[in-house]
Chain A
């Protein structure tokens, strides 16, 4: 007759289900949901796109523009991007009700302006990234608006000039 104790167990437990979505969902304070990128803080370095395990965050350079795209459909909500972001632009929200009928609703795009190389005129890094780098590395502004290729040429030239091996 021990099995009749079920009634006691059931009575003690009471109702445990919730009238979701009319009531608050049962999530804890540690829950990881959709990420939010703060366009003010983001410098467009692309660290998040490199670490993202499912490639939900991608980066594309086109002309004068750098596109950081977050596709929620691929996101696994691991939050690795928020950990690597140098400017803490990425925050993890508790948002998880993301189902939609239109796939475009799942795309979050962020556009950055790119700087043109002072020497060859080709666009390379974003304006904000260069500003950010200059803030942390003093004395780098001499080379800041030069693309990596021209920069190496320029610095070799400068060294040679300093040593007097080159007649300029």
Chain B
């Protein structure tokens, strides 16, 4: 009966929030918690450090919430404490449960929940690095800051000014013995990867047995910049530059968070235009990915042709917004560029053309025997693992999780259109490809529906006031999965602004995906989550002097390969040929 109730419920509505509130009160009655409503579909649960783990257990395991992210915040000038916000998402209700824990400034530590909810693994390390909030009960290591960054300097603390560049700390040289590093280093710069990240693949023969990841080479300090230098109105433009591919998702996500916090009623027409541009972005991103996947599989003809078709979409984006990428049309309160009748006609015409071409090409591409064989059965992510790690986007949908922010946490104009969310259960590279292929056609249909129903009226509101100290979140289904922006409003600029890009949640899933795989399938498997490292990394440019570690490993590889092919055998083989 309860399930039926949930099914008919409008997700994210006031009624849904009240239901979750009641449910939480019932479940958490044993513990000393205070549950309050924040703006829109957010609930805040204040809990002491002692009960954090119990509450997390109930919310994550019993209520079936996904970990969306966790955020550390320096609130010493407000209440003398550091705060940690664990954001859980109840997909069935479309409600966020934000669990807030305070740690006093003289005892800055919180218990870890990473063993209960593995999806929180990285973000715990993140606030440990950036805010110096210690996490107890789990192995800790440096995730985001470079190795030569001083131990006691935490850049996101409010007493650290923007732009601090401490001299690098000299550390003892790391020399790895042969036994410790039988790894194959992939990256930070590698032809199979398109952005700087570092994977270490441990192999036995040709089979991968384990993976280690070191990323955050391009942490750019965007959150600190937003909290200390920029104003509310400037941030949409820098948010758009978090990612070069799904930038509009980030700017939409940010403006939506601010609009929710300030209770700004955005005109419907603006919501439609934003949704149209978001879908255009999804089509171009998926086509880009399909091209890259073909390229990695050695099928360059497919790569060239998908990118040829993508060019028409890029031009469409420029036609509607004024720029191929970084559209720059999002502002708080609406959009800057309108779509007129002539444009609608032209867009529809181009879409028809693109749909025909994509259908023809993809149909042919996926029938290429090599492409099919390389994708089928490789890089499997089981449903259980996917659920445990709270993966998002096409990766989740290919592993049998029916998760889509557009349906689960309705935003913008998506409630006015009907579309299908493709879900596959195999969890291999082929299903991830097929999810994206189907989404391209769904997006085309969504744009058609939106253009058809485009309401008249204004495209922006210009007068609004943003009150400080409001906690708000917004999420957008980016091509790679769910983007989430967490915002605490301040005076003139956000007090805390945290960005979580989808790849952040998906990279940990690479470990189960790559294990027991052939080494040759590693590039396509890594690419199958459509990794976008720029948006995952976000924050400070500092040269890491890891060169030595990498070069040691290269020597190791040379040594290893010599051992497998001793010199005399090689020369013998050469002589006999």
How many pairs of residues, A versus B, come closer than 8 Å at their CB atoms?
62
Which residues of B, 285-331, contact A by the 8 Å Cβ criterion? 301, 305, 308, 311, 315, 318-323, 326, 328
A86 at interface, CB cutoff 8 A: no
A39 at interface, CB cutoff 8 A: no
Whether B318 and A83, one on each chain, are in contact in the complex, defined by CB atoms closer than 8 angstroms, is no
Whether A9 and B319, one on each chain, are in contact in the complex, defined by CB atoms closer than 8 angstroms, is no
Whether B237 and A83, one on each chain, are in contact in the complex, defined by CB atoms closer than 8 angstroms, is no
Whether A31 and B367, one on each chain, are in contact in the complex, defined by CB atoms closer than 8 angstroms, is no
A26 at interface, CB cutoff 8 A: yes
A137 at interface, CB cutoff 8 A: no
Which residues of B, 342-389, contact A by the 8 Å Cβ criterion? 360-361, 363-365, 367-369
> Which residues from B are CB-within-8-Å of A163?
none
> Which residues from B are CB-within-8-Å of A83?
336
B562 at interface, CB cutoff 8 A: no
B234 at interface, CB cutoff 8 A: yes
Instruction: State the CA gap A54–B238 with chains docked (Å).
Output: 8
> Which residues from B are CB-within-8-Å of A76?
237, 241, 326, 328
A19 at interface, CB cutoff 8 A: no
Q: Mark B156-191, 1 if CB is under 8 A from A, else 0.
A: 000000000000000000000000000000000000
> Which residues from A are CB-within-8-Å of B323?
31-32, 77
Instruction: State the CA gap A78–B326 with chains docked (Å).
Output: 9
CB distance from B277 to the nearest CB of A (A): 13
For A16, the closest partner residue in chain B by CB is B308
Whether A53 and B305, one on each chain, are in contact in the complex, defined by CB atoms closer than 8 angstroms, is no
> Which residues from A are CB-within-8-Å of B415?
none
A51 at interface, CB cutoff 8 A: yes
B22 at interface, CB cutoff 8 A: no
B233 at interface, CB cutoff 8 A: yes
For A30, the closest partner residue in chain B by CB is B322
Whether B367 and A2, one on each chain, are in contact in the complex, defined by CB atoms closer than 8 angstroms, is yes
> Which residues from A are CB-within-8-Å of B319?
28-30
> Which residues from A are CB-within-8-Å of B321?
30
Whether B318 and A77, one on each chain, are in contact in the complex, defined by CB atoms closer than 8 angstroms, is no
Instruction: State the CA gap A3–B297 with chains docked (Å).
Output: 15
> Which residues from B are CB-within-8-Å of A51?
233
A168 at interface, CB cutoff 8 A: no
Instruction: State the CA gap A26–B311 with chains docked (Å).
Output: 10
CB distance from B258 to the nearest CB of A (A): 15
Instruction: State the CA gap A29–B346 with chains docked (Å).
Output: 13
Number of interface residues of B (CB under 8 A): 29
CB distance from B219 to the nearest CB of A (A): 20
> Which residues from A are CB-within-8-Å of B233?
51, 53
For B329, the closest partner residue in chain A by CB is A78
Whether A5 and B364, one on each chain, are in contact in the complex, defined by CB atoms closer than 8 angstroms, is yes
Instruction: State the CA gap A27–B336 with chains docked (Å).
Output: 20
Instruction: State the CA gap A134–B228 with chains docked (Å).
Output: 38
Contact of B315 among A6, A28, A53, A79 (CB under 8 A): A28
Whether B367 and A78, one on each chain, are in contact in the complex, defined by CB atoms closer than 8 angstroms, is no
Whether A30 and B234, one on each chain, are in contact in the complex, defined by CB atoms closer than 8 angstroms, is no
> Which residues from B are CB-within-8-Å of A28?
315, 318-319
A98 at interface, CB cutoff 8 A: no
CB distance from A26 to the nearest CB of B (A): 7
Whether B328 and A78, one on each chain, are in contact in the complex, defined by CB atoms closer than 8 angstroms, is yes
Whether A6 and B364, one on each chain, are in contact in the complex, defined by CB atoms closer than 8 angstroms, is yes
A13 at interface, CB cutoff 8 A: yes
Whether B328 and A9, one on each chain, are in contact in the complex, defined by CB atoms closer than 8 angstroms, is no
A10 at interface, CB cutoff 8 A: yes
> Which residues from A are CB-within-8-Å of B320?
30
CB distance from B530 to the nearest CB of A (A): 24
Whether A31 and B322, one on each chain, are in contact in the complex, defined by CB atoms closer than 8 angstroms, is yes
Instruction: State the CA gap A10–B365 with chains docked (Å).
Output: 13
Instruction: State the CA gap A32–B368 with chains docked (Å).
Output: 41
CB distance from A6 to the nearest CB of B (A): 6
> Which residues from A are CB-within-8-Å of B322?
30-32, 79
Which residues of A, 61-82, contact B by the 8 Å Cβ criterion? 76-80
For B372, the closest partner residue in chain A by CB is A3
Instruction: State the CA gap A51–B230 with chains docked (Å).
Output: 11
Q: Mark A28-53, 1 if CB is under 8 A from B, else 0.
A: 11111000000000000000000101
Whether A79 and B328, one on each chain, are in contact in the complex, defined by CB atoms closer than 8 angstroms, is yes
> Which residues from B are CB-within-8-Å of A16?
308, 311
Top 4 A-B pairs ranked by shortest CB distance? A78-B328, A53-B237, A2-B367, A32-B322
**What are 16 pairs between A and B in contact, CB < 8 Å?**
A3-B368, A5-B360, A5-B364, A9-B305, A9-B361, A16-B308, A28-B315, A31-B318, A31-B323, A32-B323, A53-B230, A54-B234, A77-B323, A77-B328, A78-B328, A83-B336
Using CB atoms and an 8 Å cutoff, list the residues of chain A in contact with chain B: 2-3, 5-6, 9-10, 13, 16, 26-32, 51, 53-54, 76-80, 83
Known: A3-B369, A13-B305, A32-B328. 19 other contacts (CB 8 A): A2-B364, A3-B365, A5-B360, A9-B361, A9-B364, A10-B301, A10-B305, A26-B315, A27-B318, A28-B319, A30-B318, A30-B319, A53-B237, A53-B238, A76-B237, A76-B241, A76-B326, A77-B323, A78-B328
